[in-house]
Every structure is written in C-alpha cells, then in structure tokens.
Amino acid sequence: PAARPLDGLSAIVTSGPTHEPIDPVRYIANRSSGRQGHAIAAALRDAGAKVTLVSGPVTLPDPEGIATRHVETAAEMLAAVETALPADIAVFVAAVADWRVAAESNRKIKKTAEGPPALALAENPDILATIGHHAMRPRLVVGFAAETDDLLANARKKLERKGADAILANDVSPQGGVMGGSENTIRLVTIEGVDEWPKLAKEAAAERLAEWIAARLGRGGRQ
Ligand code: C5P
C-alpha cells in the first residue's frame, strides 16, 4: 500500500459528551453528539495514524480500525487518556462537563415536602490542560473552543492556559446548529495567527485538520 502521511504515528482523540451522575437514574449531560470527534479519529486513521478514541456516551458506532474506549464521566475520560499515553498527537474534541455533582447519591433522590434538593457541584479535571502540561505531553496537542461570545479572544487565552499548539474555535450559538448538527465553521488559532476555514461538513473539517497535522508532523513535514 502507498505510504500515508501519518504512518508510524499514534493519536488520541476524545469525543462526545460526559455524563456526570446525580444518583443511580439521573445525570448532567450536554448536547454533544460526538460526530466531530469521531470524524477526526477516522481522518487521522485514514492518514495512517494508530488511533485511540476515548468516547463519552454517544449513539454513533465505533469507527472501524480504531481502538475505542467507552467512558461516562470526565474523571474516567482523563484516566483513559492517560492510559493511552504516550502518543504523538492528541486532539481533545469531547464536550467535557465542567462540573460534576460533588456528592453523588447511591440511592435515588426522592421528592420531599421540603422542596427540591440543592445540588452542590465540584470542578472536573481539565483533560486538555492536564495533557497539555503533562510529563508525557504528545508532540502536538489540539483543543476546541466552543463559544457563543468573544470567540477568538477566548481561543487565544485557551492556547496559552491549556498548553495547546492549536485551538479550533467554533461558534456554538443556537442559530448556528453546530452542536449536534452536521456542519462546522472553524477558525484554527495558533500562536502564528488565525486561519479561517469555510463552513464544512464535520467529515471535511476532520480531513482538513488531519492535513494540517500531517503538514506539521507527517512525512516530509516532520519537525
Ligand atoms: O474551557 P473549554 O471547555 O471551553 O475548553 C474546551 C477544550 O478543552 C476542548 O478541547 C475540550 O475537549 C477540552 N476540555 C477538556 N476537559 C475539560 C474541559 C474542556 O479536555 N474538563
């Protein structure tokens, strides 16, 4: 078979939402479908990389030719990512819950005359920031910034704070239909500047990212 640009390299991709349990039957979740993350895992595979996909709960099938690890919570996602190290490339696409319920109840919380319960929240680990500053940091670390406001300013801050080489900024305002939809309009933000991509199907955006990664790390462009 013909040589591919990421032959011999390994990649970790996170995808989907996380579910943070409240009690045995309830959880906190978000609208991520996993489509963009799964498409990026497939594009990196097609470019020749050995891919581990760490996926939160999604309805998508496991992509062929990819080691898929299924997790539910942010804490489990971080543990699965660390287990998959070392890797050359890491792309953090998952919409990780910022908070979990501080004290998960192991019994179903009942309605009482006292009214609704107060849910205390605790901060979840930031998986991208943890790996971006990790002793085994992959050579290339890419994150997303799903924002509704101040897209570029927030993406630039995220690059620095999370130790990422690139942030793919996308506008998730409800009118855009990105969250759960099939298309994405991305701006690739690095310390060198901002590259505005056209509106693309999530699969095409994934291929474009794989090409960008290959130009950075792959055959011919290897640093
Ligand atoms: O800070 P914010 O959630 O906007 O950052 C988004 C980026 O950080 C995404 O790449 C997401 O996958 C990653 N992230 C993470 N762990 C968290 C929160 C975000 O890996 N707890």
- Please give all residues whose beta carbon lies within 6 A of any atom in ligand 1, as ranges: 14, 74, 92-94, 96, 124, 126-128, 143-145, 158
Give yes or no for residue 208 having a pLDDT over 80: yes
* First CA to last CA distance, the chain: 25
Angle at 109 between CA 105 and CA 113, to 5 degrees: 140
Q: Which of 126, 133, 167, 171 to mutate to test the pocket of ligand 1 (most atoms within 8 A of CB)?
A: 126
- Rg, Å, the chain Cα set: 18
pLDDT at position 218, please?
63
Is residue 220 over pLDDT 70? no
Q: Annotated binding residue at 157?
A: no
pLDDT (tens digit per residue) in 172-195: 777 666 666 788 889 999 999 999
Task: Please tell me the distance from the alpha carbon of residue 117 to that of residue 16, in angstroms, as a whole number.
Answer: 28
Mean of per-residue pLDDT scores for the chain: 93
Give the β-pairing of 67-70 and 50-55.
parallel
Please indicate if the annotation marks 162 as binding a ligand.
Answer: yes
Q: Give the burial class of 159: count Cβ atoms within 10 A of its Cβ; 0-12 exposed, 13-18 middle, 19 or more buried.
A: buried
Q: If you take atom 4 of ligand 1, which residue's CA is the nearest one?
A: 145
Atom 21 of ligand 1, nearest CA residue: 126
pLDDT at residue 182, rounded to an integer: 84
* Mean pLDDT, rounded, for 213-221: 77
DSSP letter string over 46-70?
Answer: HTT-EEEEEE-S-SSPPPTTSEEEE
> Which residue puts its alpha carbon closest to atom 17 of ligand 1?
126
Q: Assess: ipTM above 0.90.
A: yes
The larger pLDDT score, comparing residue 77 to residue 147, is at 77
110 annotated as ligand-binding: no
The per-residue DSSP string of 197-212 comes to EEEEEHHHHHHHHHHH
How many A from CA of 217 to the centre of ligand 1? 23
Active site residue 30: yes
Percent of the chain with pLDDT over 90: 84
What per-residue confidence (pLDDT) applies to 176? 67
**From ligand 1's centre to the CA of 71, what distance in Å?**
16
Q: Please determine, for residue 133, whether its predicted confidence score (pLDDT) is greater than 60.
A: yes
CA of 126 to the centre of ligand 1 (A): 6
Query: Given a cut of 90, is residue 223 above it in pLDDT?
Result: no
* Dist CA 81 CA 126 (whole Å): 12
- Both tokens assigned to 33: 């479908």
Q: Give the residue from 29, 23, 30, 28 showing the smallest Cα distance to 111.
A: 23
Q: How high is the pLDDT of residue 173?
A: 73
Please say whether the dihedral angle defined by the alpha carbons of residues 70, 76, 78 and 81, taken in this order, is positive or negative: negative
pLDDT score of 180: 65
**92 marked as part of a ligand binding site:** no
The answer to whether the peptide bond before residue 57 is cis (omega within 30 degrees of 0) is no
pTM, two decimals, is: 0.94
The closest alpha carbon to 40, from 89, 105, 79, 78, belongs to 89
- Which of the 8 DSSP states describes residue 194? E
Give the per-residue pLDDT at 4.
Answer: 94
Position 219 pLDDT exceeds 70 = no
Q: Give SS3 for 190.
A: strand
